Chains A and B, each alone.
Chain A
Amino acid sequence: MSIATPPKEPQGGGVIDLDVYTPIEEPRTKTTQHKGILRWLTTVDHKMIGVMYLWFAGFSVIFGGALAGLIRTQLAFPNGIGGKPLMTPEYFNQFIGMHATFMMFGFVIPAFAGFGNYVIPIMIGARDMAFPKMNAFAFWILVPSGLLMASSFFFGSIPGGWTSYAPLSTKTYAPNLGVDMWIFAIHLAGVSSILGAINFIVTMSNMRAPGMKWFRMPLFCWATLVTSWLQLIGTPVLAGVVTMLLTDRILDTGFFNPAKGGDPLLYQHLFWFYSHPAVYIMMIPGFGMVSQVIQTFSGRPTFGYKGMVYATAFIGVVGFLVWGHHMFSAGMEPWLRAYFGFMTMLVGVPTGVKIFSWLATLWGGSIRFTTSMMFALGFLGLFTIGGISGVFLANVPFDVQVHDTYFVVAHIHYVMFGGAVMTIFAALYYWFPKMSGRYLSERLGKVIFWLIFTGMNVTFLPMHWLGIAGMARRIYTYRPEFHSLNMIVSSGYLLMLTGGLLLVGNVFYTLLAKRRTAPNDAWGGNEVQNTLEWMTTSPPPAHNFDRVPKIVPMAYESLHH
């Protein structure tokens, strides 16, 4: 195989072959020794690991989605069917906790890690990640984490939602093993997260191909870099707080026990110190992926590339200074409420910069409405709604009214479903031909998009109103006046379910029944953005490139020195 002919100057700048770069030979030879399943189990190839992350994410989203179905069924029939209750509140509370945990730590983060693993080394012109074995370890440690988490169901699971606030999660109120298992699962996922983050940071710092300057990296690389720093700094704090919870539970310490001089509020502070940055860990890579998709299908390179990079970095930094906005009603110093409110509003500024940049990229483009692009455009609209409700929530007096209500549920789903999940679908359709050599069905893809897009709005838009009108979140039955809206919400789930099942079916059908037809530049028009993954075969060889590419400036780069 060879790298595609360099696109003609001056349109796109491009790529020159050069043998200046020694690949990491040792791990690669190891992977090719085995065939079949053993090959997957022993591989240290970043692409295969990336694909395994994506399978993991796929299983998680199916599991998490099924739990969502159970939650919505209960809320459609809060008094049971024919007088018979559908489930006990114990189970309901475990379902909401597990749904969130699996969707965030099992689906969104691994999916981003999967795309990152697959694409980033190729995008920067490297043979593999910096630490291939550590990469494999980071993935494989996620598997027991997921299993432990899922099996905690048999031991009472977490009774207090994904946040597991103390004291509800302490031994007195949650005597079961479930919480301990959840803690260990978080530990394992945390180790995976930290190792993955180190690997990405080192890879991008050291392994960029000659000529691939920092400010020539595609935006997805930047996004993953910023995310990796967030993971590296934040995850130890999460590990710390759940460890404190663990010792409170099994060693009878008193970190969160006021009778022993502890404070339950400490749990919330430490938890959100990680978990607010975590919400950006679950969004920023999506920003990056969407930038790639929009460039490709609008035929225009991202407007204000550097502004995008700075905005992403700024979100990352400020993300560590706003955790208190999850605790406005928990009781804190008045000036602290004012501070956290103001900092949170500030996050809206770089978020706005990103949205405006995408719009300016699209303006004057020649847009191809592929499924991938439709998900990207859907993302743009839905995420704007979520960002705006986020700014509403930064207003402390307003937040106090809607905190812990369905309004917040609506916000998190507009940013996480309308945001992160839409970008994952966009990226799936976008890179699937690269990863497998096969195209997912475009015609079915559009049906899937409309089902998911409509279903998502039917499900989550009415929730804003429910929250304002007085429906608290995490309740398994509610006052009768909320019933009609909840029926609408639950029916939206059915639309999304249909779309999701079609997608799963289409992925399997494509993998099993379709032939490899994708050329190097599977979507055409790579001369616009010139990213390297489209300059190698689909799927790429184990070593990515026969010759190490050397990057020369793109024609339009003079615009953004």
Chain B
Amino acid sequence: MAKKDIKIIVGLWVLALILSALTTWAYMISYNPATATHGPASISEPTTHWLFQPASSVAERVRTESAWMVFIIMPFLYGPFLMLFYIISRFSKSRHPVADKPNENLTLEVAWTIVPALALIVMAVPAYEALRYMEIPPARPDQVINVTGAQFYWQYELPRYGLTTTDNGTITIDAKTGRATEEDSWLHLPINKTVLMNGQSFQVNHAWWVPAFGVKFDVIPGRINTVWFDTKKKGYFKGQCAELCGTLHAYMRIQVVVEEEKDFYEWVLRKGGTIPEEEEARVVELLGADYRERFAPKDGAKPASLPAATESAKSPVPATAGATEATGSK
């Protein structure tokens, strides 16, 4: 190989590195945690996800770790592509009628084995840190949710409040309010809390997946899988069952509402949940001492008169099948 060729190859790979750095830079600036403080304000907005709209520390962690991965790996995409384009333009039969003599270069072969291997090791280190972060749940999670996948709905149990709710995936937008009538049967979570989820199933496999939380885990009969995340943004987050579970698998959509603690407690009370003693003080502080009378559901589902000022007041809670069933089963 001529000296000139070596220069060109080095040049192409330097270009690949630069392109990779640019890609990584574009990736980094595409999301600014300081300004992106809110999730989607309604369920009709498009899905958010871990890459550009992370809504939990886990998702953010995966996002930053992936930047490193993009930086290390992309040269190995750009490099071969640049070389391929160059080869096609320079070494066609018309431009280069006689092929060069066969050659061999052991150093080169060793180099292109060792360098990618080193790159992979360098890439793996932050990946494992992120993995550890994902795998070790907080010792005292603020909320514990037991989720059960069933054909074809999700059932959430909040054992602390003696509360169960069922999300059957449907969304019916009320034309007047612009909000979904099923909202109360979805999973609600208070903001800025850590959440531990235990997943189980009694029939077939499903997977609980909310991209914005950076969380996906299979629920499999005969075992309990666990994940954790925290809620860093208010809003409506969408997910989807991610393990083929039968005919209506596509309809096993997931809706999660992250809201202020106050709204969360109101939801708990509307659903007929009970406040445990250790949280009583906090609830009184947020909702007032007479919260029981004001928010307890009447006839199983209907809440008492709601203070007009709150968000939730805009949507009177419907007696959907899911909601009634859930409250009844408590």
Q: Which residues of A does B touch, CB under 8 Å?
A: 88-90, 93, 159-161, 165, 167-168, 172-173, 258, 262-265, 298-301, 303-304, 307, 329-331, 334, 337-338, 341-342, 345-346, 348-349, 352-353, 355-357, 359-360, 362-369, 377, 380-381, 384-385, 388, 391-392, 395-398, 400-401, 403-405, 468-479, 481, 528, 556, 559-560
Which residues of chain B have C-beta atoms less than 8 A from A161's C-beta? 244
A472 CB contact (under 8 Å) in B99, B222, B241: B241
Find the B residue at minimum CB distance from A404.
B242
B214, A401: Cβ atoms closer than 8 Å: yes
B47 CB contact (under 8 Å) in A329, A380, A479: A479
With A165-B205, A348-B120, A388-B77 already in contact, the answer to whether A366 and B220 are too (CB < 8 A) is no
B242, A559: Cβ atoms closer than 8 Å: no
A366, B203: Cβ atoms closer than 8 Å: no
Which residues of chain B have C-beta atoms less than 8 A from A469's C-beta? 46-47, 49, 211
Which residues of chain A have C-beta atoms less than 8 A from B92's C-beta? 366-367, 369
With A362-B91, A472-B241 already in contact, the answer to whether A481 and B221 are too (CB < 8 A) is no
Find the A residue at minimum CB distance from B114.
A349
B5, B73, B96 pick with most chain A CB within 10 angstroms = B73
* B51 interface hit (Cβ, 8 Å): yes
Q: Could you name 16 residue pairs across A and B whose Cβ atoms are closer than 8 Å?
A: A165-B244, A263-B222, A331-B225, A338-B131, A346-B120, A362-B87, A397-B130, A400-B62, A400-B134, A401-B211, A403-B216, A404-B209, A468-B49, A470-B239, A479-B240, A560-B104
A159 to B276, alpha carbons, bound, how many Å? 45
A332 to B34, alpha carbons, bound, how many Å? 35
Stretch at the interface among B105-113, B284-292, B316-324: B105-113
With A331-B220, A352-B76, A362-B91 already in contact, the answer to whether A168 and B83 are too (CB < 8 A) is no
Which residues of chain A have C-beta atoms less than 8 A from B221's C-beta? 167, 258, 264
* B308 interface hit (Cβ, 8 Å): no
A467 to chain B, nearest CB (A): 10
B84, A377: Cβ atoms closer than 8 Å: yes
B47, A303: Cβ atoms closer than 8 Å: no
* B243 interface hit (Cβ, 8 Å): yes
A303, B117: Cβ atoms closer than 8 Å: no
Which residues of chain B have C-beta atoms less than 8 A from A364's C-beta? 1, 5, 91, 96, 99-100, 103
Q: Which residues of B does A touch, CB under 8 Å?
A: 1, 5, 9, 46-47, 49-51, 61-62, 65-66, 69, 73-74, 76-77, 80-81, 83-84, 87-88, 91-93, 96-105, 108-109, 112-113, 116-117, 120, 123-124, 127-128, 130-132, 134-135, 203-205, 207, 209, 211, 214-218, 220-223, 225, 238-251, 253
A555 to B253, alpha carbons, bound, how many Å? 65
With A348-B120, A474-B249 already in contact, the answer to whether A329 and B218 are too (CB < 8 A) is yes
B120, A470: Cβ atoms closer than 8 Å: no
Which residues of chain B have C-beta atoms less than 8 A from A477's C-beta? 250-251
Number of A-B contacts (CB under 8 A): 250
A303, B104: Cβ atoms closer than 8 Å: yes
B124, A342: Cβ atoms closer than 8 Å: yes
A196 to B2, alpha carbons, bound, how many Å? 46
B88, A395: Cβ atoms closer than 8 Å: no
Which residues of chain B have C-beta atoms less than 8 A from A90's C-beta? 247
With A303-B103, A388-B73, A470-B240 already in contact, the answer to whether A168 and B62 are too (CB < 8 A) is no
B167 to chain A, nearest CB (A): 15
A412 to chain B, nearest CB (A): 15
A349 to B113, alpha carbons, bound, how many Å? 6
B102 to chain A, nearest CB (A): 4
A93 CB contact (under 8 Å) in B88, B220, B247: B247
A397, B61: Cβ atoms closer than 8 Å: yes
B246 to chain A, nearest CB (A): 6
A345 to B218, alpha carbons, bound, how many Å? 23
A161, A298, A348, A472 pick with most chain B CB within 10 angstroms = A472
Which residues of chain B have C-beta atoms less than 8 A from A395's C-beta? 65-66, 69, 123-124, 127
B244, A384: Cβ atoms closer than 8 Å: no
Find the B residue at minimum CB distance from A347.
B120
Which residues of chain B have C-beta atoms less than 8 A from A263's C-beta? 222-223
A167, B203: Cβ atoms closer than 8 Å: yes
A475 to B249, alpha carbons, bound, how many Å? 7
A89, B123: Cβ atoms closer than 8 Å: no
Nearest first, the 8 A-B pairs at minimum CB distance are A258-B222, A364-B100, A299-B99, A475-B250, A481-B46, A556-B102, A470-B47, A366-B99
A168, B245: Cβ atoms closer than 8 Å: yes
With A173-B204, A479-B238 already in contact, the answer to whether A470 and B49 are too (CB < 8 A) is yes
Find the B residue at minimum CB distance from A262.
B222
Which residues of chain A have C-beta atoms less than 8 A from B214's C-beta? 400-401
